[in-house]
Structure formats: structure tokens, C-alpha cells
Amino acid sequence: MGSYHPSRWASRLEVSPLFCRASHRLSTNRLHGEMLEPRAVPSFGVAGLAAPETSNATSVAAVNPTPGNSSLSGNVYLDLNDNGVFDSGESGIDGVTVTLTGTDRNGFFVQVSQVTDANGRFQFLGLNPGVYQIEQIQPAGYVDRWDRVGSLGGITENDRFVQIVVEPGQAGEGYDFGERPAGD
């Protein structure tokens, strides 16, 4: 099949990780639609992301063998007072799909989706420096309200934060999506 270089084929590589146990994933790869050999991949080595053990990461577009030490996190929550701030007394919304995409400084394209936990929290760990975006799928039964950009900045668009510049060792927090119940 010849030699493989991730930067050459990143746009054509599809990796579908399945969690086998906390420390490893089984991934099935496709290149140009052709099935390649399944292989075990350490959970910290996929697309430069280390998924927490409670993560539900569902897709990765490229393999980066060198994870970084940066992260991005936030919440999807019920904004009871409609002020755009995740206040005490307000609850997170679980089961919402949130997707991180971007390109790290090593040229690797990153695409990882996960669902929010029982507290409405999401977290993408092991990021390399780069420029990223975070997008949520609007949860059923809720009306979109205020989206608040987090500590590393970026631009807020509807249900999405774009142009988030991540440097080595940074922990971007507070990328929050506020929602209201439908019909409220």
C-alpha cells in the first residue's frame, strides 16, 4: 500500500474509535474507502486528544501520535433567569452532542464529538496548540439562548465558538451554551 504520512492523507482518513477499556480504544480505519487493519490505539494518542474516562468521544478525523497539554471545556445548561451565565441553582443538560474541530500547529486536522455528562459538562483534553472551534447540536426540547465564549477567547456564533487560539499548556474554560425549555 506504500508509505503513509498523516499530513498528506489527513483529509481522506476516517477513524472510528470504540472504547474497549479505559486505557485503549479499538479503531477501524478507512483510506479511500478501503478498510484497513483494525488496531489498538492508546486513548491519549488519537488526534492529540486525551478523552477523560467518562468521555463519549465518537469520531476523529486524523491520528496525531503526540498529544498536547492544553484543553477546552464548558457546559450546556438550563439558563433559568435568561442572563447568559451558568449560575448556581441552574442545571446542566446531559446528552448534548458537542464537537471540537480545528487544525493544530503540526498540521493535523482534529474532529472529535462527545456528549455532555450528567452535569452538562464537556471537556476536550490533550490538545496541541492550534486554532479550534466548538459547536453544539441544539438539544431537543430546548430553545437556543445565550452562548458565552470562554477564557481563551474566540468569536461567538449561533451554537458555536470559532477562532479559539490555544497555546501550549492552556486550559480554556467556560465555553457555555445556555438553553431555555421550549414553550417557556
CB count within 10 Å of CB 22 equals 11
3-state secondary structure (DSSP) of residue 6: helix
6 neighbors 103 (Cβ within 8 angstroms):
no
Q: Measure the CA–CA gap between 45 and 48, rounded to whole angstroms.
A: 6
Using one digit for the tens of pLDDT, what is the confidence trace for 36-90?
333 333 333 334 334 444 444 333 344 455 778 999 999 999 999 999 999 999 9
Q: Measure the CA–CA gap between 84 and 79, rounded to whole angstroms.
A: 7
Task: Tell me the β-bridge partners of 33.
Answer: none
**What cell was used for 126?**
490533550
3-state secondary structure (DSSP) of residue 8: helix
**What cell was used for 91?**
442545571
Spell out a b/e string for 76-98, using b for 16 or more CB atoms within 10 Å of the CB, else e: bbbbeeeeeebeeebebbeebbb
DSSP H or E stretch at residue 85: none
**What cell was used for 143?**
430553545
Q: What is the pLDDT along the chain (184 residues), one digit of tens a residue?
A: 444 333 333 333 333 332 222 223 333 333 334 333 333 333 333 343 344 444 443 333 444 557 789 999 999 999 999 999 999 999 999 999 999 999 999 888 999 999 999 999 999 999 999 999 999 999 999 999 999 999 999 999 999 999 999 999 999 999 999 999 998 7
Neighbour-count burial of 54, counting CB atoms closer than 10 A to its CB (0-12 exposed, 13-18 middle, 19+ buried): exposed
Smallest Cα–Cα separation from 138: which of 162, 160, 161, 159? 159
